């Protein structure tokens, strides 16, 4: 039985974590800026990262479907196993819905997503500023939920690493440590 995630799963996990931190921080920063060419460029970066995350999500889901993750310890209480499963499932759902609401919001507000300034993505819906405003609120609330779940995920990692000392972190940690 494999004790660790595959290198591909680890790479996707950590790359997506880095991109989530980047786009969340960028989103917070740019939302308070006055309209300017700089703000518009930051919005473009935010969209690029979001669409990259959506693409990586597709790859990650396909990888997860075809590669069984290592089993959790049988010493964990059943409620913790179920909580971990539910948290991971919710993270996967949010990592799909959040970029989609951003893309829908951009379409509704009349701002096309153009990847890397060269590849225009299709608008998903027609211009509707009322719907765009509602999608903006939904996008923001979902991001708050994602932040809360990531915080819960980190607290679980800290508990396992420093309180329970059960080595769970090493299943997803590619930089040395236990093999």
pLDDT of residue 170: 85
pLDDT of residue 160: 87
Phi, psi of 116, deg, nearest 5: 55, 25
Count of alpha carbons within 13 angstroms of residue 140, beta-carbon side: 9
pLDDT averages per 10-residue partition of the chain, 179 residues: 84 97 95 94 96 98 94 85 93 98 98 94 97 97 97 92 85 74
**Rounded CA separation 170/179 (Å):** 7
DSSP 8-state symbol, 119:
E
pLDDT of residue 177: 58
pTM of the model: 0.91
pLDDT of residue 1: 47
> For the chain, which residues make up each domain, given as ranges?
7-171
pLDDT of residue 2: 59
* Among candidate residues 92, 93, 111, the one with its CA nearest the CA of residue 39: 111
């Amino acid at each position: 039985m494999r004790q660790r995630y595959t290198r591909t799963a680890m790479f996707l996990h950590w790359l997506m974590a880095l991109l989530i931190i980047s786009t969340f921080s960028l989103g917070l920063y740019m939302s308070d800026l006055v309209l300017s060419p700089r703000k518009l460029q930051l919005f473009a970066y935010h969209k690029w990262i979001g669409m990259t995350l959506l693409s990586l999500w597709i790859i990650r889901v396909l990888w997860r479907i075809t590669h069984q993750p290592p089993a959790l310890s049988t010493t964990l209480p059943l409620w913790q196993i179920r909580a971990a499963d539910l948290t991971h499932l919710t993270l996967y759902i949010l990592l799909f819905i959040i970029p989609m609401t951003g893309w829908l919001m951009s379409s509704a507000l009349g701002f096309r997503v153009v990847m890397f300034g060269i590849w225009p993505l299709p608008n998903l819906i027609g211009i509707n500023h009322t719907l765009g405003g509602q999608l903006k609120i939904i996008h923001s609330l979902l991001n708050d939920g994602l932040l809360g779940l990531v915080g819960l995920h980190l607290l679980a990692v800290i508990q396992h690493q420093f309180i329970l000392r059960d080595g769970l972190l090493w299943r997803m940690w590619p930089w040395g440590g236990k093999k």
